Amino acid sequence: MLYLRNLTYHPTASPTPILKSINLEFAPQQLGLIIGPSGSGKSTLLEILAGLAESTSGEVYWRNQNLTPAHLQQLAGLVFQFPERHFCCGSILEELRLGHPELGSERVRNALQEVGLDALSLQTPPHSLSGGQQRRLALAVQLIRQPHLLLLDEPTAGLDWSMRQNLVKLLEKLKQHWTLLVVTHDAGDLLSIADCCWTLNHGELQSVEPDKISISQQLSAVSS
Ligand code: ADP
Ligand code: MG
At position 1, the amino acid (one-letter code) is M
Give the CATH fold of the 2-223 domain.
Rossmann fold (3.40.50)
Domain ranges of the chain: 2-223
Question: What would the pLDDT profile of 78-109 be if each residue is shown by its tens digit?
Answer: 999 999 999 999 999 999 999 899 999 999 99
199 lines ligand 1 (CB under 6 A): no
Question: What would the pLDDT profile of 183-205 be if each residue is shown by its tens digit?
Answer: 999 888 899 999 999 999 999 99
184 lines ligand 1 (CB under 6 A): no
- Does pTM top 0.85 for this prediction? yes
Q: Which atom of ligand 1 is nearest to the CA of 200?
A: 3
Question: What would the pLDDT profile of 147-161 be if each residue is shown by its tens digit?
Answer: 999 999 999 999 999
> Residue 200 CA: which ligand is closest?
1
Q: Atom 16 in ligand 1: which residue has the minimum CA distance?
A: 39
Q: Which atom of ligand 1 is nearest to the CA of 81?
A: 2
- Give me the pLDDT at residue 217, please: 53
Q: Atom 19 in ligand 1: which residue has the minimum CA distance?
A: 44
